Chains A and B, each alone.
Chain A
Amino acid sequence: MTIESLVENMFELDNPINELNRLLIKYDLTPNQAKVYLYLSKMGIKTASEVSKSLKIPRTETYHLLSTLQQKGIIFSVFGKPTKFNAVGIDESIAILINNEKNRINELETGKESIIKLWKLIPKYSGNKEKSDENKFQTLQGRNSILVKLEQMIKESSENILVLGTESDFKKFYYTDFTNLLQKTKSELRILTDYSNKGTHIFEDVPAKKIKKLDDKNREDFCFIIKDDSEVIFFVSNSEVKDMMALWTDSKTFVTTLRSLFSLIWKKAHHIDESNAESLLGSEITYEHRLREIEQEKLILNYLQKNFKLSENKLGARK
C-alpha cells in the first residue's frame, strides 16, 4: 500500500480528518469543499481529475468546488496542462476564512441602514392594527441565536435579572459575553445554581452575595432567565434535537409563574459562602452567638471554681 493510498483512505475511516471536516464547515465551507481542501493540503499538487477520482466526487462538481475554493483564496492553481491545484497552508487558510466572515458581517452591518430606509419607503398595506399588549413567543434554536437574545435581554434590563440553572446548563456560554454582561449589569442580579467547591465556575467572577446554591432536590431539568419581570427565556431540553433550544416570551402569566418559582427557591436557598448553620440562623451567629457561649463558659467555670474551692477548703480543714 502506497503512502498516497493510505492518506486517501483516511477520508473514509473514522479519523481526525472527519473531525477537521466538521470544524471547517463552521468557517463557511460545505462538507465537500472542506474535503477537497483537506485532500489538497495533505496530498499536495493534484489535477481536478485526480481529486475527483480519489474523493469519489463527480468531475463537474469537483471543478465547481475547486473554483469556489480558489475564489475563497484557500487553494491556488499551478499553470500547466492539465491545470493542477494545491492548497494554501492551514494557518493562512483559517485566517483567510475568518477574514472572509468578518468582511461579510461588515457588509451586512453596512447594509442594515439601507434596508431600513428602503423598507420605510414601502407603504404598509395591513389593515389590522397590531395590539401592543399581545403576548409574544419566539422559539430559538442554536447557541448563537440564544446568546444574541440573552445578551439583548441583559443589556436592556433596568431592574432585575434572575438566573436559574445548573453550571452545566450555562457552560455552553463559556468564553462569550454572557458572563461579562451579567457582571457589569446595573440591575439587581440573582443567580440560583449548583456550586461545588471544586474546580472553576462560570459565575466565579460574579460577587458571591448574588449567588445562591441550588439544592439537589431543586436541581430539576429546567433552566431559565427572567428580565425585569417582563421577559423570560426558558431552555428546552430535547434529546432528539442536537442544537440548544429555548423559548422566549413576554407573556405575563408565564413570567409571573417562573418568577414565583424562583422566589420560592431563592428564599429557601443558601448563599454559596455560608455554612449550613449560618444560613439557617442568620449572620448574627458570629458575634452574639459567641458572646452567649462565652457567658455560658463563665457560668460553668464559676460554678466549678466555687465547688473546687469548697472541696479544697474541706480537705484543708481535715488536714
Chain B
Amino acid sequence: MSKNSTMRDSKINSNHLNILIIDDNEQITKMITTFLELKNHNCRVANDGKQGLALIQENKHDVVLLDLAMPEFDGYAVIKALENNDMLKNNKIIVFTASTITQDELEELVSRGVTSYILKPIDIDLLLSKIIESATS
C-alpha cells in the first residue's frame, strides 16, 4: 500500500467521507450527491472514465463509486488503467452497475483488487452502509 493511502486511511472518518462518483448518468450522480451531502459526506463527480481516472490519481477520496458501462472509456478501462499502474489495490473502488454481469465476473473483479460491488437498483440506505463499510474496511 502506498504511503499516501496509508496516511489517508488513518484519517478516515466514516461520518464524513470523501466520495468520488464516476458515472455517465448525470441524473444518478446528481441524486446520489444530494443524498450523500445530506448525510454530511463530500462528493466529487466525474461523468466519464478518463475524467474519473484523473480524479482518482489526485488521491483525495476515501472511496470511489465506479459505474462499469460508460461510453468510450468505461469502468473496465478505469480498472485496467489502475491495475497497470499498481493503483487498484490502493484505492477503495466500489463497482456500481446496472449491467448484466455474472457473479463470477464480479468476483473476478474483486480478486483483481476491486473492494466490492453494488448492483443497481439498490435501496439508498443500503448503498450508504455499503459505502461506509468499504471505506472503512
A78 near B: Cβ within 8 Å?
A: no
Contact partners of A296 in chain B: CB under 8 A: 28, 98, 120-122
Contact partners of B104 in chain A: CB under 8 A: none
Range of interface residues on A (Cβ < 8 Å): 20 to 34
Give Cα A315–Cα B28 distance, bound, in whole angstroms. 27
Contact partners of A300 in chain B: CB under 8 A: 28, 31-32, 35, 124
Give Cα A158–Cα B70 distance, bound, in whole angstroms. 40
B34 near A: Cβ within 8 Å?
A: yes
Among B25, B68, B73, B100, find the residue whose CB has the most chain A CB atoms closer than 10 A: B100
Whether B120 pairs with A307 at a CB distance below 8 angstroms is no
Given A296-B28, A297-B27, A281-B69 contact (CB < 8 Å): yes
Whether B100 pairs with A281 at a CB distance below 8 angstroms is yes
Task: From A280, A281, A285, A295, give the contact of B121 (CB < 8 A).
Answer: A295
Task: From A280, A290, A293, A298, give the contact of B76 (CB < 8 A).
Answer: A280
B38 near A: Cβ within 8 Å?
A: yes
A260 near B: Cβ within 8 Å?
A: no
Whether A276 pairs with B120 at a CB distance below 8 angstroms is no
- CB-CB contacts of A228-253 with B at 8 A, as 1s and 0s? 00000000000000000000000000
A1 near B: Cβ within 8 Å?
A: no
A10 near B: Cβ within 8 Å?
A: no
CB distance from A143 to the nearest CB of B (A): 38
> Which chain B residues (84-127) contact chain A, with CB distance < 8 Å?
98-101, 119-125
Whether B74 pairs with A282 at a CB distance below 8 angstroms is no
Whether A297 pairs with B31 at a CB distance below 8 angstroms is yes
CB distance from A303 to the nearest CB of B (A): 4
B58 near A: Cβ within 8 Å?
A: no
Contact partners of A292 in chain B: CB under 8 A: 98, 119-121
Task: From B35, B38, B70, B122, give the contact of A277 (CB < 8 A).
Answer: B70
Range of interface residues on B (Cβ < 8 Å): 20 to 34
Whether B25 pairs with A293 at a CB distance below 8 angstroms is yes
CB distance from A312 to the nearest CB of B (A): 14
Whether B71 pairs with A277 at a CB distance below 8 angstroms is yes
Given A289-B69, A289-B100, A295-B121, A276-B76 contact (CB < 8 Å): yes
Given A288-B100, A289-B100, A276-B72 contact (CB < 8 Å): yes
Contact partners of B101 in chain A: CB under 8 A: 281
Query: Chain A residue with minimal CB distance to B69?
Result: A277
Query: Chain A residue with minimal CB distance to B77?
Result: A276
CB distance from A146 to the nearest CB of B (A): 38
> Which chain B residues (10-58) contact chain A, with CB distance < 8 Å?
25, 27-28, 31-32, 34-35, 38
Whether A304 pairs with B34 at a CB distance below 8 angstroms is yes
A317 near B: Cβ within 8 Å?
A: no
Query: Chain A residue with minimal CB distance to B74?
Result: A277
Given contacts A275-B74, A297-B25, 6 further A-B contacts (CB under 8 A): A277-B70, A278-B69, A296-B121, A300-B28, A303-B124, A304-B38
Residues of B within 8 A of A (CB): 25, 27-28, 31-32, 34-35, 38, 68-77, 98-101, 119-125
Residues of A within 8 A of B (CB): 275-278, 280-282, 284-285, 288-293, 295-301, 303-304, 307
Q: Can you list 16 residue pairs at the A/B interface with Cβ under 8 Å?
A: A277-B69, A277-B71, A277-B74, A281-B68, A281-B69, A281-B100, A281-B101, A282-B100, A289-B98, A291-B98, A296-B28, A296-B120, A296-B122, A297-B28, A304-B31, A304-B34
- Nearest first, the 4 closest Cβ-Cβ pairs linking A and B are A292-B98, A295-B121, A300-B31, A296-B121
